[in-house]
Amino acid sequence: MTNLALDLDPFEGWTPHPKQIEVMECDVRNVVMNCGRRGGKTNVGARKFFDNILADVEAEKGLPYKPPRNLKVMKKPKPRLEYWCVSPTYSMSEIQQEELGAVIPEEMIESWDLSKNRVWLKGYILIQFKSADNPKTLVGKGLDGVWLDEASKMKEQTWSGYLSYALADKGGWSVWTTTPEGMNWFYHDIVLNGQHTQAGGQLDEYRNDPEWCNFYWTSKDNPLPELQKNIQRMIETMPKRYVDREIFARFDVFFGQVYEEFDRSIHVVPRALCEQKFKDRHFVHIEAGKDWGFTNPGVTLVGAMTANGELWIVDAIYKAQMEILVPGDSNCWVAQDKELMKKWKIKMFWCDSEDASNIKTYLTNGLPAKAAQKHLKEGIRAVSTLFKVKSDNGRPNIFISDHLKEVIQELTNYR
């Protein structure tokens, strides 16, 4: 294997749109692209991936390196540098291979083995194509860089259980390209590391880590004339939630969301407003819903009803592995729900009926509690009607306090 040439112009023979240029000019360790369909994310993802490899070579990363002996008889020598291209499935990785094949100059390729999904570049540099379908197969490697395409479709363990550790060994970098699939692990664990964009989410949620950079663009940012005609046709004919998700690449529109009408800009209200309404006695009746949980978080949800039939979710407790009653200890459900009852003057706790002994414990300790009659489909249907904005006054019949992050996340990801 010979040395890899470095005198390359990443823009040669390529006419990028402005958003793609911004990506190529970014030198942050972790680059995250959240884009609409046909926005050119995979195209620039391949170029950014290869450009990062060239930067590693130019920085003499992986040196000194001792080439392996008996190279001809070795099935797979240890590379000087190793990179992975990861897709949700092997069939989807063909797109990555096609895009990279159009980027890497032929004279730099030592061998391209389709049967083994790997490319050797000159200079003992290895690129492997991997499937994230079974994250456990991604174990055991120290990597110099990865490119994850359609990352939001992958399982959380792909990153948190395997690839993040593989990059930590060598201080490796990452390139992410995807269209959103809701506020799932990718949003919470990856996107929120960087900076706020118009893709959705609250400004104060973003961590602004200098090692992460978010890029966002829509399908309309790709200026190809024929594409734009088709995109406009889709905007005019497709359901709004599909357009918002697929074309405008918004995180707060979801696959499989039960409460399709839920909209943060409409249904989420300031905490101070909830407390003021309580102080001004605008609520005529306040009750709580109770899910015991244990391994999964237990929940107490406080709902306040107004005279005109609006339900305000004003407070909540989410706790995992908390005991029902520990005498003299405030860290138990009885003690914490007593505090909620005192704060909000709760008249009744409607409880999960699966454990009648817990309800009895509540009653014994002065908490008004009854078993809720659970009919899932009917319950979902009843709640979903509350989210609809009424034509007569432009208001829905349900509001959620903005400090209840877990409640809002549950609403958006409820399947």
For position 415, what pLDDT does the model report? Answer: 45
| Burial zone of 64 (CB within 10 Å; 0-12 exposed, 13-18 middle, 19+ buried) | exposed
Residues of the chain with pLDDT under 70: 1-7, 10-11, 70-76, 239, 253-260, 294-295, 374-381, 413-415
- Domains by residue range for the chain, with CATH: 18-241 (3.40.50.300), 264-413 (3.30.420.280)
> What's the predicted TM-score (pTM) here?
0.63
Please tell me the predicted confidence (pLDDT) of residue 2.
Answer: 46
**pLDDT score recorded for residue 410:** 79
- Averaged pLDDT score across all residues of the chain: 88
Q: pLDDT, tens digit, for every residue of 182-200? A: 888 999 999 999 999 988 8
